[in-house]
């Protein structure tokens, strides 16, 4: 096995994961170096029966766990909101959450990496989400011109413990509501009531405040054009409730709203 050829494409992502896991880029890199050094000394330590990415993450966990699985403690003033929330989780919950939410592994793959059953992994993630959601309550603006869909989204958002500040049906209304209510999250359709665009509304809002936006649309092709920055969170209609709930949790966790540049 050519270690460089097989693992090099995955190392930038492993660095991201290790930093989020340990709480420090220096600490995360140290564990990655230890993992790679061990593999150079004995390449047979790696599991050759699975894909390189999964094998690399699994071996990293073996090394991390075998050397104490230390987490960096930082002064809160130096920690951004996402890191602070991660640091509040138990190590095993943090691993389970990050492997699926940040790294995109399936439940089956993440369970294998951690050496637990799929049921145990799901319970760890459920517990992590529950602990995180206690800190994630925010105001949500819905931009949607279909009353039934807007009502469904409002119920879903409130079930998660958030407050819906309003439902805009046009671009102009959306921008004015955003200025007035200063939401911490926006759920946005593309085609609005007066023929205006939710994409344009989102760009107008992002010019005055830094807020995570989840696009929920029957026209995803209007966003995935490559012609402008594409959204991190895009959900096609008809949507599944669990998909929207997961996107809301990830958006608030990894992209918390910053203070708006308007005074209402």
Whether 41 shows a pLDDT value over 90: the answer reads no
pLDDT single digits (tens) 8-37: 889 889 998 888 888 778 888 888 888 888
* pLDDT reported for residue 246: 79
Closest CA to 88 of 142, 151, 41, 132: 132
Nearest alpha carbon to residue 130 among 100, 88, 191: 88
List strand residue ranges (DSSP E) for 104-158, in order: 139-143
Distances (CA, A) of 194 to 108, 169, 170, 236: 45, 8, 6, 21
Q: Count CB neighbours of 160 within 10 A.
A: 17
What would the pLDDT profile of 155-212 be if each residue is shown by its tens digit?
999 988 899 999 999 999 999 999 999 999 999 999 999 999 999 999 999 999 999 9
Element (H, E) at 27: helix 25-41
Residue 219 has which token pair? 């026209």
Q: What is the pLDDT of residue 102?
A: 81
φ, ψ of residue 155 to 5 degrees: the values are -60, -40
pLDDT in tens, 122-136: 999 888 877 777 777
Report pTM. 0.59
pLDDT digits (tens, 9 = 90+) for 71-102: 444 444 455 556 666 666 778 888 898 899 88
What was the pLDDT predicted at 164?
96
Query: What region does 156 belong to: left with phi over 0, alpha with psi -120 to 50, or beta?
Result: alpha
* 3-state class (DSSP) for residue 263: coil
> Strands 213-217 and 185-188, how do they pair?
parallel
């Amino acid at each position: 096995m050519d270690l460089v050829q097989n693992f090099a494409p995955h190392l930038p992502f492993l660095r991201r994961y290790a930093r989020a896991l340990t709480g420090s880029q220096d600490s995360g890199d140290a564990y990655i170096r230890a993992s790679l050094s061990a593999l150079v000394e004995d390449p047979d330590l790696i599991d050759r029966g699975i894909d390189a990415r999964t094998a690399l993450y699994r071996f990293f966990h073996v090394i991390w766990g075998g050397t104490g699985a230390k987490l960096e403690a930082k002064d809160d003033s130096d920690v951004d909101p996402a890191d602070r929330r991660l640091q509040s989780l138990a190590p095993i919950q943090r691993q389970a959450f990050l492997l699926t939410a940040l790294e995109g592994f399936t439940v089956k793959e993440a369970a294998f990496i951690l050496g637990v059953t799929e049921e145990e992994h799901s319970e760890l993630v459920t517990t992590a989400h529950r602990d995180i959601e206690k800190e994630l309550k925010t105001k949500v603006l819905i931009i949607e011109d279909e009353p039934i869909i807007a009502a469904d989204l409002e119920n879903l958002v409130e079930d998660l413990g958030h407050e819906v500040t309003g439902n805009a049906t046009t671009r102009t209304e959306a921008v004015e509501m955003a200025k007035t209510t200063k939401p911490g999250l926006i759920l946005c359709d593309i085609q609005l009531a007066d023929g205006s665009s939710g994409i344009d509304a989102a760009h107008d809002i992002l010019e005055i405040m830094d807020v995570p936006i989840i696009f929920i649309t029957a026209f995803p092709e209007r966003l995935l054009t490559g012609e402008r920055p594409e959204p991190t969170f895009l959900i096609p209609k008809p949507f599944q409730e669990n998909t929207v709930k997961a996107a809301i949790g990830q958006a608030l966790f990894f992209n918390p709203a910053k203070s708006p540049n308007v005074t209402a």
